[in-house]
Amino acid sequence: MGVGRHRPRARTPSPGGQGARGRRDGRGTGIGIGIGIGIGTGRSMGGWRDMPAEALEEQYSPSRWSPRLGRDTIIQAHLAVTAAGTQRARAGTRTSLHVPYGDGEGEKLDIYFPADPSGTFPVLVYIHGGYWQCLSKDESGFAVPPLVSQGVAVVAVGYDTAPKGHMDAMVLQVRRSLAFLVERYSGIRGIYLCGHSAGAHLAAMVLSTDWTEYGVAPDIKGAVLVSGVYDLEPILHTYVNDVLNMSRPCVQLAGPSPCWILLVWITLTSLRSWRRTAMSSLRRTSGLR
């Protein structure tokens, strides 16, 4: 399953990926960050250039890691659960589905409103994963019910996945989706980004947006980036790029800057230290060893 002379056949990519990170934006607004920890990023972090081709493929195939289910089975199970959860959310929530934010076929939003949308409300914007080449907003409403019950609107963003969509176009699409929301819905009281896997990368690119180009200023108050893939260069050497067809210049434009990658590892180190301290305190107070 290596790369080079024996490139693998194109197959359904595995949801999952690397770590996450965040920043404080240029206007001084604090950005809260949720971290998903996965495989390392970059030469200094993961040493991927020294890996054999098969090992690199393994690192970028999280579905192979399941101890209980085979890789095809676990992907199908993931799709079944998220699709069923989305159908339940649509059935029990006030929605506006397939709202176009642009002219492209994939440029649509699913909006789930809180029970009382008459006033202002915070919005969680969810960007789905799927290695930029599968999944959609139609499996992205599974986490809606507990959020809308607390007065939070949820927006699932659709974008054109590969091979139809290209990486630079996906980044522009998710940025334009936020600009559309701000212009269309005056009742929004703060935006929280949430992205999984490839969606976490796209959410991170949203955080780095110069919004003066769009004529809006989204009030982004926080981000939850789960198992994101941020260093795109290793992907050039794996099966994932068979469909993405990224070039090195594309990777340089669509990937985060090295200082962002450094920031997430500093953040992860702090979180791990905090977790050790918290767990130690919990054990002492509960009498556990």
Tell me the pLDDT tens digit for each residue of 147-189: 999 999 999 999 999 999 999 999 999 999 999 999 999 889 9
The dihedral of CA 108, 169, 19, 71: what is its sign?
A: positive
Q: How confident is the model at residue 12 (pLDDT cuts 50, 70, 90)?
A: very low
Residue with tokens 């940025």: 175
Tell me the pLDDT tens digit for each residue of 202-250: 999 999 899 999 999 999 998 999 988 888 999 999 999 999 999 988 8
What confidence score (pLDDT) does residue 173 get?
Answer: 98
What confidence score (pLDDT) does residue 280 get?
Answer: 60
Q: What is the mean pLDDT of the segment spanning 75-93?
A: 94
Q: Within a 10 A sphere around the Cβ of 286, how many other Cβ atoms?
A: 8
What confidence score (pLDDT) does residue 91 get?
Answer: 97
Tell me the pLDDT tens digit for each residue of 44-67: 445 889 999 999 999 998 888 888
Cis preceding-peptide flag for 146 (omega within 30 of 0): no
Percent over 90 (pLDDT), the chain: 55
Compare 33 and 123 and report the one with higher pLDDT.
Answer: 123
Q: Within a 10 A sphere around the Cβ of 257, how many other Cβ atoms?
A: 10
Percent over 70 (pLDDT), the chain: 72
C-alpha–C-alpha distance, residues 208 and 93, integer Å: 32
What confidence score (pLDDT) does residue 130 get?
Answer: 94
Closest by CA to 137, choosing from 126, 151, 152, 147, is 126
HSE-up of residue 110 (Cα within 13 Å, Cβ side): 20
Supply the mean pLDDT for the chain. Answer: 80
What confidence score (pLDDT) does residue 282 get?
Answer: 53
Among the residue ranges 20-29, 111-120, 137-146, the one predicted with the least confidence is 20-29
